[in-house]
Structure 1
Amino acid sequence: MTSLRFRVGGADDAAKVALLHADSWRRHYRGAYADSFLDGDVVADRRSVWSSRLAAPGDSLTVVAEYDTELAGFVHVVFDADERWGSLVDNLHVVHGRQRTGMGAALLTRAAEAVTERAAGPSMYLWVLEQNTQAQRFYRALGGTCVEKAAVSAPGGVPSRLNGSPHMLRVAWPDASLPAPRAAH
């Protein structure tokens, strides 16, 4: 029997989380990020980021979702990242074959619960690429509101990793206890 479980991610999860993160970027960030980066050193870049984050989480939390022992998704929250907008849902990724199964909503709910329990303020937000309209619909369906548009920062601060000047949208929840489906999707 297959079992789903959620748990706090740790240093031992860095390689799996990095691979999922890189796969997600390759699927959804084409056009905004340079193909040479996505097809080249994106895995090494993500492995470096996640090894560091998961070894010393500080004021953040990573929740991983697993089916048996296989990674199915993860969410990473940085508590109280912004004075106005609150805690940052810095990453939310679901394995391609598990998308549209409720996994993303379950992970976002766990992020919201963590914000409610651990953050100084009740609000949370995230950034989504302007071109990622599927994710935008998902966040709106869970009560998020687009409140701002900004330029995308180059991964690792390397400008050549971007194509032109892509934009991202800030999606916010003033009260993290409220992310809930508005309507079936």
Structure 2
Amino acid sequence: MIPSFGETTGPDGQESRFGPVWRLAAANDADQIAMLHADSWRRHYRGAYADSFLDGDVAADRRSVWSARLAAPANSETVLAERDGRLVGFVHVVFDDDPVWGSFVDNLHVVHDQRRTGIGTQLLGRAARAVSERASGNGMYLWVLQQNTAAQQFYRDCGATCVETAPVSPPGGDPARLNGTPSGLRMAWPDVARMSHLLDGC
């Protein structure tokens, strides 16, 4: 998922003064990815997912998911952004996931103190470039909670269009973990080749 278009790392893989180090995730990255994922859910999914899940099971739930996902990658790629050896963001994309909408950006998260630094935009751009190189189609999409208006605006600023709204599946497959049934918006990019404003920043 990370060819270089304006790469911020040198040939030795070290961080330049312009940004973080970018690399593909490996199986031993599952724990730190899970911790960032859990922290992001706890900060942004209150009111959609039950507090009992967010405050209790979510870290173990995400650790199980990421351990399995990275142990046996299946037509997918996960890119990490690091500063000084610390994980500051990641994106996970599943290629050719949907026959209509294309490849699925299943996760994109940035640590709280690094938000609005451009990392999220660059991660999304790297996902788009990976889709253009590895997927059979050029479409890309993701789901965002209806309550997460800041994320919706971010994706719109990155060129996405909301194409539909649907109920969100309960985390862990347990309906009792939901405070009601939240809604999600499908945000789509029909052709990643048109995302030049993102690719130029990566």
TM superposition score category, shorter chain reference: over 0.9
Shift of residue 2 of structure 1?
6.2
Corresponding letter in the other structure for 2:110: V
Between 62-71 and 170-179, the greater mean CA deviation after superposition: 170-179
Match for residue 39 of structure 1?
A: 55
The one-letter code of the counterpart of 1:88 is F
1:84 pairs with one of 100, 103, 112: 100
Aligned positions, number: 181
Counterpart selection for 1:173 from 189, 195, 200: 189
Displacement of 1:162 = 1.3
Per the normalisation by structure 2, the TM-score is 0.87
Runs of 4+ more than 4 Å apart: none
1:133–1:118 distance in 2 versus 1, CA, 3 Å: same
Report the alpha carbon displacement of residue 156 of structure 1 after superposing the two structures with TM: 1.6
Residue of 91, 97, 104 corresponding to 2:113:
97
* Deviation at residue 173 of structure 1 after TM alignment: 0.1
User: 1-side partners of 2:91 and 2:138: how far apart?
Assistant: 18
- Tell me the residue number matched to 2:86: 70
Asked if 1:163 is matched to 2:176, the reply is no
Question: Is residue 145 of structure 2 the alignment partner of residue 129 of structure 1?
Answer: yes
Question: Tell me, what secondary structure is at the counterpart of 2:141?
Answer: strand
Determine if the alignment matches structure 1 residue 8 to structure 2 residue 20: no
Amino acid across the alignment from 1:69 = G
User: What is the DSSP-based 3-state SS (H/G/I as helix, E as strand, rest coil) of the residue aligned with 1:71?
Assistant: strand
Could you tell me which residue of structure 1 aligns to residue 134 of structure 2? 118
1:141 to 153, 157, 161: 157
In the alignment, structure 2 segments of 5+ residues that lack a partner are 1-13
